[in-house]
Amino acid sequence: MDVNKNSYIFGFSAILVIVVAAILSFAAESLKPMQTENVRIEKMQNILASVGVEATPKEAGKLFDQYIVDQKLLNHEGKVVEKDGLSAFDIDAVKQYKDKNLSDSEKYYPLFTFQNEEGKRYIVPMAGKGLWGPIWGYVAFAEDMNTIAGSTFDHKTETPGLGAEIKEKFFTEKFIGKTIFEGDEFVSVEIVKGGQPWDSPHKVDGISGGTITSVGVGEMMERTLSVYVPYFKSNPKASL
């Protein structure tokens, strides 16, 4: 066989590409269960982090089962619904947000109830858009379903040192104690530009240099929480 012929080179290259592709495909399929499990664990960690419970990957499942005492699915009107084969934990808020083909009636909104010796917290997942890509987070409410008890936000593509700071505690802790109702009116929480007055129960100081991402967090919260308003208002423990 003449290994210098073009036909040999092309044939060898084609076989090599096929073999490598097969190996990569096999590896991807083999690792898929592990990747899925890692995503599940990270989601539990983020939900718990919104109420200040730090969990390692090893203990996340146990703590989640211990503290998350209820999970509900709400429809776009804020009413509790049941969907066969679908739980609140199954909802991917980012994927749902990005899917423009979904109608409002096809969207579902999870509500997680956390309970410890101090009482209950109600955790809402959300997704939105930052400067360069998706942002997401979890906001926890006190039993009055008005006062924010904790939050956590994250991203993949925001600018380090600027918009990426939304995941840092110095930013998320600013939300604690803020309220989303003024009387009976839903006002959400506004993220104001750095340097502007923010000493208000409904305002949070934004990240200097990360204005667009900060505004994205505010938009994400207002849009998502508006769905939960009917449920919050109908709860007998709500204090608006």
Q: Quick check: is 222 in a domain?
A: yes
The mean pLDDT of 157-177, rounded to a whole number, is 88
Q: Quick check: is 223 in a domain?
A: yes
**Predicted model pTM:** 0.84
The mean pLDDT of 35-63, rounded to a whole number, is 93
Phi and psi at 70, nearest 5°, equal -160, 145
Calculate Rg over the CA atoms of the chain. 22
The count of domains in the chain is 1
- pLDDT exceeds cutoff 80 at 50: yes
Give the domain range for residue 85. Answer: 68-234
Assign 34 a pLDDT band (cuts: 50, 70, 90). low
pLDDT value for 129: 94
- pLDDT exceeds cutoff 80 at 218: yes
Q: Quick check: is 26 in a domain?
A: no
pLDDT value for 23: 78
Q: Give percent above pLDDT 70 in the chain.
A: 89
Q: Quick check: is 146 in a domain?
A: yes
